[in-house]
Structure 1
Amino acid sequence: MTQMIPMFRLPRAGALALAFACAWQPAHALETTLTAKYNARLSYLPINFATGKLTATLPESGRYSLDFGAQGIGFAMSGKAVGTVVPDGLSPVSSAIDTLDSSEKRSIRLALSRGRVRRDVVTPPVPYRRDRVPITDEHRVNVTDPISALVMPVSVKGAPLDAGNCRRTLRIFEGTERFNIQLSYLRTERVKTPVGYEGQAIVCRASYRAVAGHRAVQGVRDMEANQTMEAWLVPVEGSGMLVPWKISMGTKIGTMVIEASEFTARTVGTAQANVVDGFELRKSR
């Protein structure tokens, strides 16, 4: 990206002249839109108990937007995250999640900057329990939100299906909890979605570790000990990102499988706006 001359080194007239010169040569970039639809089921049953949809707008650089929604038997969820695409992935700025089940309705709002949670509001607040591990300021640093965590940058340059892309730890702050998801490589599989993607997927083992906000109960210990969790990642063409195609996990009532029924990506060229000293001078698509 072209480096702009700092405004304090130019007189106002010179800055405006430079701005109009730049306006004649807009910077072109690529922007990818992903639509992924998912079905959730238990492996031994032929019917789905939930459906979900992820819509992502992923530019080469600049602002990204993610929308996620899911609904099923006895629950519904919607969420949105926005932020900036940076060289090493996504840097969220805000995240909103709303959940509804048979017992309660909850909203979570996060404001972040450079991996630090600046503000978090949970409505209604999580009730006090003596065995709940408290969340402190140190748990709000170097984290991402749970929606942005669904989109992972390709960590091995030019090789989205390299085993090395599984070697990562997602440090997630969800508002009520802080936890890690550690990924490691298992194998590579060929997959085919009814609509959209057909090709290779890297299959990563996923391990859950509670950090804060959770209760010290047997259910959490069982999750941490679960060695059956897998995330099947596929590349989003044109974006340099990986997104889950399938997630599976063994439970006491069978293996839960969340699998894409549609996975389509469209990449277009855009002309970015030229902005100088806070004024937008040109914007076209």
Structure 2
Amino acid sequence: MQWRPRLICITGATGGIGSALAMEAAKAFDRIVLMGRSLDKLQMLRSQLPSSCAVYLVTADLEKSDDITQAFASISKEVGEIDVLINNAGIGRFLPFEQLKREEIERMVNINVNAVFTSTQAVLPAMMRRKRGHIITVASQAARLPTPKATVYAATKYAVLGFSDALRMEVQKDGILVTTVNPGPVQTPFFANADPDGTYAEKMKPLMLERTALARSIVGIVGKRRREVNKPWWMHVGAKLYQGAPSVVETLFSKQFHSK
């Protein structure tokens, strides 16, 4: 690590991956900012973190760009400039496209995509001025290997993957690192909303990633030049095969793709 980050910010901190990220970041760094919608949940999370880490709480509705902008302005003024932004917040809904409600589509786009754009744009100027920083965005293997009933979710994750790849080239000259994290299914409450009948979650349960291990992997690459973190390895291999021969993979694994 060429520099030790002084301030880490995690969005969607009270979610499954987010809370695990908060715990691992609090062990590794001295100051972290946790951002989420519920102050009560943020306070409960802070009470579980090591006292050796200074933890700052910021509430924001990540569906609203103005809320996000104001939250980051408050952090800059009251806490300091952010060295590492972990765009972690994300939601999903696994249904056939024609059954998705308009508000469900808009919510996925706002939280999974627009919040990433707004948050990143809020911290970039200070990073560019200091010639250092790290933007880490949690995308998904769904961006590499889309499946039925994940049409909009896959599209939102594909969007932030493309955004990160382009941004990486833009800010490389400014000493800023850009990393995407592409996990497969993770053992979190995410599926309570994404898959309310539990069918997909039950089928994938034996293959799900453990969230603490994933969070440890993410925190471990802070400040390091990593293009992507892909978990699990076998799903990453499948995504690579899909990119090379999509028709073949879709034919061979049609049954598995329709397992949601």
TM-score class, shorter = 0.3 to 0.5
Q: 1 or 2, which has the higher helix percentage?
A: 2
Compare CA radii of gyration and give the structure with the larger one.
1
Q: 1 or 2, which has the higher strand percentage?
A: 1
TM-score (norm 2): 0.32
